[in-house]
Each structure stands twice: as structure tokens, then as C-alpha cells.
Structure 1
Amino acid sequence: MIAGLSAAELLSAYRTGELSPVEVMRAVLAQAEAREAELHALCAVDAEGALAAARASEARWRAGQPLALDGVPVTLKENIAVPGAPYRLGTAATPETAVAGFEAPPAARLREAGAIAWARTTMPDYGMLSSGLSSLYPEPARNPWDTRLTPGGSSAGAAAAAAAGYGPLHLGTDIGGSIRLPAGWCGLVGLKPSHGRVPIKPAYAGRVAGPLTRNVADAALMLAALAQPDARDATQLPPADVTPRPLALRGLRLGLMLDAGWGEAVQPEVAAAITAAARAFERAGAVVEPIAGFTTREMADGIDRFWRMRSWLDISALPPAQRARVLPYILDWVAPAAGYDGATVFHGYSQMQALREAANAAMDGPRPLDFLLSPVSPMPAYPAHQASPLHDPARPFEHIAFTLPFNMSEQPALAVNAGYTAGRQPLPIGLQIIGRRFDDAGLLALGAAWEQLRPAQRPWPFEPG
């Protein structure tokens, strides 16, 4: 299926003339049309603009002057600003007329590389859920592996589109797991780069943009385009080569963490799949050392309170009629912040630094680790109409105990499929691989090595039903 080809395969086919960008764009649009009625992955499609861009790309290929990602289709999450495009952040509380007045750095880098941004993908209110549940869209995004379930979030539509074959490249954002969780629940590769590796606007603590793809090679291609300087992000890192380097597994030191220190317990099938991955690395010559969780309940609850206050300030400033349109779950989540004092909020903010120090220290013990292995989440995908696995705004983050630390620590973290649950309708189980700060290239190399070690993967759920 043309729409299900990888970015590397498309670039090769464009180079030889076997395929044209116009042919590919038409195939992607047709695949989206065939699946959208059940998946609800997209909030906007620009078919006319995409085909015009594909014709321009085709001309560059014929002239022998292609760009790095010329003619490769890409979707953008709705919170990635594009001038003149709707910018409602997944919530009905945003006016219908809201449009972006600037181009976010990741959108600009992909455009400059020749990628065709043909659609925007759905997300929950303000990107603050791990599902696609939203006050803005009539139906939440669905998981192509089982449409009764969520693809995860907040990059919900991006993950559903990637797993269903809406082209090879999809751009998400992540502040507590919003790329890696949907990647894990949809069998994808999801990269949360080192903080600052991909300049972004608006920028704030823990927030990154990164790829959702079906293989590591495509994530690396996409990161190379995204990781270019942009002075609008004051947290950007100096330019660096992010190309995955050859990586010898023999002697590599890997930590294995199956208990995060708080949150939901890891379910047996998930633990078995992650342990099997660790054993496979051992057989390839790596040294695997179990490590204890380093996150505390105080850290998690403090960050939760700080985020509640940040969101409550934004929501409480809305006119009453707009505020009433926010998803009720989100309103219930932020409500306690109205009673927080300054000391509570400051203590919550301080837990970001406490978690940053603990996560980096876990890699730098008496016997330093090269990488860390963990589940992406303690459980597989859950029902699409739930905001979170527990669906309890008083306990909203029990499932992000393995992902949140590495937003705060600024380390790169990769989700890649480890295996599947048993049963009549198997579901993906995500393996998270964490690298040292700034070592995005090494992390991608280890992810690619895992793709070679793991058992054969099940076919992608490209077909309806």
C-alpha cells in the first residue's frame, strides 16, 4: 500500500522515479478518507494545498534539486501553529475564529525540508489528557488496533493516523508523555527529544515536539529536519549531528526499571514484554542491571499541583460562557487550585528540579548507565471515552510515572514496540528507552538495534475494522 510506505522508501522511490509525490499524496488522502469515519484522527485537511505542494515537489525531483524530505507527507498536531490555520488547542472554549498568527519552529523546519503538511491532528483540551477526549470534537480519536480504545494522548490523532497508514511522518508534542504514550499504545516509534533539541514556540518546562513514525529510521530522518536552530526558543540547544551512529551492544550498560516509585503497578503482560526485551539485549552482549524507581509521590503530586494552578489561571481568566465549554474532567481537575496558596504552588514547582536531579542521578550512580529501559506505561490502551486509565481527575497521572521524569530531566526518551498482549485482539506494548542528556543519536541507534532484535511484528492495522 503506497500510503503505508516509510519516508525512506518514498524518498528512494522518488529518486528512481518509481513513484511521484502527487501519486503518493493522492494515496494518503484516499487512505485517510477510508478510515476517518471510525478513527477521528484529523481536525483539518488541506487536500488542494497538499496536491499543489506535491506538484512543486515533483518538479524539484525532476530538476534534480530535491530537499531533505521533499514530497513526504506529514501531519501536524493542532497545537503546532501554522499562520492562518485554526488554533483552538483541542477545546471548545477557544473561539471558533481563533487562528495562529505565527509559524511554530517545527512546522517551519518541515516545510523548509520539503515535507507536505497536508492535515492537522486532533488532541484533547489544552493537550492535558492521555487520550483524545475533547470538548471540541464530536468523537475522540480511536486506536486502529481496536477502535473501542484510545490511541493515547495528547498526540492522539497523530498516533491514530500513523498506525492507520496516513503517510509516514507525524508531529506530536510531549510534556509528560504525550508522544510516547500514544506511540506505546499504537505500536509506533515516538521520540521525545532532549529538551531544546527541537526548537518550539511556545516553550516552557518539559515541553518538546517530536516524531511519531512506524520505524526508527523515519524518526531519525524527521529529527534531522526538526533539530535546526531557531532563536525564538531561548531553550534551544547548540546545533549537533543527530544521525544515529553505529552502536556496539556488547558491554553496553542498561538499567531496567519496572517500578517507577509511584503510580499504577505494571501489569503482568507489560512487565513480561519489557523483561523479555532486556533479556534480548543481554543475549546480544549488553549488561542489564535492575534499578529501583527514583520518583517519589511528593514529586508527582507537587508537579500535579503546579500544573493544576497553571491551567486554572488560564481557564479562570476565560469569560464564563467560554469557561463552561471546557471538558468537565479538566474543570474538575483544575478546581482545587483555586484554594492553593503561594507556598503550595512554589513547592510544586520545586519538584520539577527535584525530579530532574533524581532522574539524571539514576544514570550516574557508582556504575553509570548508558541507557535505561522501562515500560512506556503500566497498562495497554484503555476505552476511548475515558480521559485516563482511572478516569479520575483526583488521580490523573498514575499512568505517567515512567514518562514524566524524562520531561523534567530533559533526557531523550524513545517509545518503540516491545510486543503484544495475548487474546483475540492483541494490543501493542511499548518499551521506553531513555538516553543520557543530549544523546539523541545514541538513543535512536539503540532503538534501531532493538528493531533488529525483537520478534517479528504483527501487520499494521491499515484496513478498516
Structure 2
Amino acid sequence: MATPPSATNPADLTATALLSLYASRALSPVAVTQAVIARAEAAEPQLHALYAFAPEAALAAARASEARWMKGEALPLDGVPVTIKENIAVAGVPMPLGTAARDDAPPSPRDAPATARLREDGAVIVACTTMPDYGMLSSGLSSFHPLARNPWDLTKGPGGSSAGAGAAAAAGYGPIHLGTDIGGSIRLPASWCGIVGHKPSHGRVPLDNAFYGRCAGPLTRSVADAALAMRSISRPDDRDPTALPPAALPWLDLDGLELKGLRLGLVMESAAGLPLDPANRAVVEAAVRLLAEAGAIVDPVPAFLSQAMLDGLDLFWRQRASLDIEALDEARRARVLPFIRDWAAGGRGLSGAAVFHGMSQMAAMRDAALAAVRPFDFLIGPVSPNPPFPAEHASPTNDPARAMAHIAYTVPFNMSEQPAISVPAGFTPDGLPVGLQIAGKRFDDVGVLRLARAFERIRPALRPWPVVG
């Protein structure tokens, strides 16, 4: 198998294109993996997207993949380069959870469910990706990892907590990157890095560390690649007590959705958190016009997330983080990112009633989000209220007292367990990406992907991918 004469760097090809080229023997998994390694080596001194970069192991996996293709024994993702967020276990790789307080974390004894499914399907694991301390920031700021940056503008952050995954996808470190999302941690970096990020229905992708609202899902450059990844990582694993029943969903059947007559609820306003930036508003409004011109029926949805809901959840998360940090010895506590320590301190010494009230806001969010989507086929709107922010900032406000002020558009769909995706919609006047969020009814992951694909088809051409290094 050889590399075809082409102006396209193999590192920039989609997974769907790679599989087709592998099948025709026009391209080799080894050549693609070499191109991805070269891309990462050139860009990493500036981006810092990767952790546990393993080029030799990746090349060995690529050679094994090439042999399977040559023998006609190819697996569903054979030879496709992937990265795995650092908090998703990869056998033999330590999992510090982004914090220097765990800088001596032992190697993981086995793959997490999603990692195992990718490996079983022949994907080539190139590296893990960086994240902030405990995954509790929407930035790449970490006490353990170097500061991750946004390929579109190196002065900006990629978002988080799937920070390295977002940067790696936008920079072309291969086509599929696995992240996690508990309040927006897939969709926010997807929006700010100009890529696709799918947060599945809760339980659709099995986890071995399930928690309220937490999901794992793909960050990619195309909706088709996100669907391809979902086909693999949604397969069952009995380690997740919250997993949905196994379902043979038509993941790759993306083109059957008729926009004409589709009922879309537009969630443009929020009664909580930061106000919507005019540049983000303009991009989302342009996307909404395209859908309406294609025949969709778009009606505004009143703000359904209250400040009390967001504050209550923030308090509950602070209390949980405070317990984790207070359990550390003094030396380890001192290694935690100061912003995280200051934020978690707000949860120290709370009464049981206060904690219960905070936790109850998850149910309030769930009920409000499900009521909002009930009259519609899908909800659409912004992913984030703001464009990418300075890389050195822990959050858009950079204020521990308002650490969650930017997640008002994303977090309700974690608590309601609905599928939601960020799909690139356009750019601010400064050339920074802006995503459109699409949320579906519970369990309708395929529908969300289909609408995202339909929008992808009518959206104007995007700017060329950024080149770093």
C-alpha cells in the first residue's frame, strides 16, 4: 500500500476517507500514522495537546493494521489514528486527571470501555490528550500538563475540559479524538476549535467511572466521523451500571432527514450566566436563517435555565471537589491548581441541607430541559455565550466565584441526559470559530447527528484548517 499523489496531507483526511482509501489500497495506515506523528511533532511545541505520546507503539499498531488490510481481514476502524482524553483509561498509561496532585498516578491496569472498543476495532492510538485539573475547567490550564492552546489563535485556549482533544482535532492530529463531557467539556472545545463534538445520551457510551451527567464522545472534523466513532464506542460494556441497553442503531445512515417541516426550538437567550456575545449571536442567527430557508419551522424557546439552578449545581460540584482535595495530604493539596483550590473552597463546610439543595438543581435542570424540547423535534442555539478566551485564563470570567458562568447553554443537556452536538457554524470577525448546538430528545443520538449532517451540507464553506508549526 502506498501514499497516492495528492496535495492533501494524510493527517487531514477524514476517517471515512481513510477507510475508503485503505480498502482500495491507495493509502497505507503506516503512511497515515507517520503523517499524524509528523504533524504532532511539528505543532506540539506550541499546542501542548498531547500526553503520553507514543509514536513507536502507534507505528506498530499501524503495521498490524496494514497487514490485516492486505489479508482482507480489516476491522471497522482499522488503521484510523485516534487520541484518548487523559481521564479515559488506556492500559499501561498513568491517569493523573490533569493535576500535579496525582503526578505519581500508577499505570492504568486496563482500557476503559470506549478505549477498548476503539482498540478492538483496529484504531491506532497515537496518544492521550491533555486536560485541566480534575476536568473542572473549560480551559487547558493544568498544574500537571503544559498549557494547551487553540490552533486558530495561539493566544487563546482550546476550551475544556477536553482541551487537548479539541486542539488536536483542529490541528489535524488524525480524524477521531475521544473526550468527556459533564457540563460542556466536549461541546465547548468543539465550538471554540471549529470542530464537531458529540455528547451522547447518558449511558449511550459505557463508562467505568459513571457519574451524574458524565458522558464520553467523539471530537472530529466532520459529522460522519463522529457517527463512525459512535458506532464503535457505543457497544456494550458491563462495567457501567448506568449504561443503556444495547441497541443496533443506524449510525452511518445520516442523509435521510428532511429539513422541510422540521420543528426546531431556538434557545437563544439564557436567564443564567454570561450574556451572549454579539459575535456569537450573529453566527448562530445566520445558521438559524439557513435552516429556516431550507424549510425548517423555527420558534423561539423562552430561557429555561435559571441562575438558581446553575448556582445550585456549582455549589454541589464545589462540595464534591472540596471533599476530594481535603482528603489529600498537605503537600498534594498545594500542588492542585490554585484556581481549583479557590473554587472548591466554596464547598467546604456546607450543611447537608445546602448540599441537598444544590444536588436537587440537577433534577430541576432535567425537568426544564425536557419540557423545553417536548413541543419540538430538536432544540438549537449557541454552544457558548463567548468566543475563545485567553489561554492563560482558567475560564472566560477567570473568577472562581463565577467559574461556571459560561456553561448555561450546555449543562442542562447533561442533566437531562439528552444527546447534544456542537457543529461548526462560522467565525467571528476576528476569525475565531463559533459552533451551533443541536440537542435532541432523550436517546435520539442518530437524529441529532442527522440534523448536524443536514446543517453541514447547507452551511457555507468554512475557512481552511489552521497550520501550526
Length-normalised TM-score, structure 1? 0.97
Distance in 2, Cα, partners of 1:447 & 1:97: 39
Verify: 1:344 aligned to 2:344, yes or no. no
Q: Of residues 130, 140, 151 in structure 2, which corresponds to 1:144?
A: 151
Quote the offset at 1:97 in angstroms.
Answer: 4.4
Aligned positions of 1:152-301 closer than 5 A: 152-240=159-247, 241-243=249-251, 244-245=253-254, 246-301=256-311
> CA deviation digits over 1:10-37, x for unaligned, max 9?
1011001111111111110000001000
1:417 maps to a residue whose letter is P
Residue matched to 1:93 = 101
Residue matched to 1:5 = 13
How many residues in Structure 1 have an aligned counterpart in Structure 2? Answer: 458
Quote the offset at 1:463 in angstroms.
Answer: 4.0
Quote the offset at 1:276 in angstroms.
Answer: 1.2
Quote the offset at 1:149 in angstroms.
Answer: 0.4
Verify: 1:458 aligned to 2:463, yes or no. yes
SS, match of residue 45 in structure 1: coil
Verify: 1:72 aligned to 2:77, yes or no. no
Unaligned 5+ residue runs, structure 2? 1-8
* 2:103 and 2:144 in contact (8 A); partners too: no
> CA deviation digits over 1:56-85, x for unaligned, max 9?
100110111100000000000000112221
Distance in 1, Cα, partners of 2:129 & 2:346: 31
Verify: 1:359 aligned to 2:394, yes or no. no
Distance in 2, Cα, partners of 1:140 & 1:399: 20
SS, match of residue 102 in structure 1: coil
Distance in 2, Cα, partners of 1:153 & 1:21: 30
Relative to structure 1, the CA distance from residue 36 to residue 95 in structure 2 (aligned partners, 3 Å threshold; closer, same or farther) is: closer
Aligned positions of 1:24-103 closer than 5 A: 24-103=32-111
* 1:220 and 1:242 in contact (8 A); partners too: no
Distance in 1, Cα, partners of 2:383 & 2:250: 23
SS, match of residue 338 in structure 1: coil
Unaligned 5+ residue runs, structure 1? none
Q: Please identify, of 143-152 and 99-108, the stretch whose mean Cα deviation from structure 2 is larger.
A: 99-108
Verify: 1:386 aligned to 2:393, yes or no. yes
> CA deviation digits over 1:260-286, x for unaligned, max 9?
221111011111111111111111111
Q: Please identify, of 220-229 and 77-86, the stretch whose mean Cα deviation from structure 2 is larger.
A: 77-86
Residue matched to 2:112 = 104
2:97 maps to a residue whose letter is L
Verify: 1:335 aligned to 2:342, yes or no. no
2:225 maps to a residue whose letter is D
Distance in 2, Cα, partners of 1:22 & 1:412: 35
**Cα RMSD between the aligned structures?**
0.9
Residue matched to 2:452 = 447
Verify: 1:18 aligned to 2:23, yes or no. no
Distance in 2, Cα, partners of 1:271 & 1:278: 10
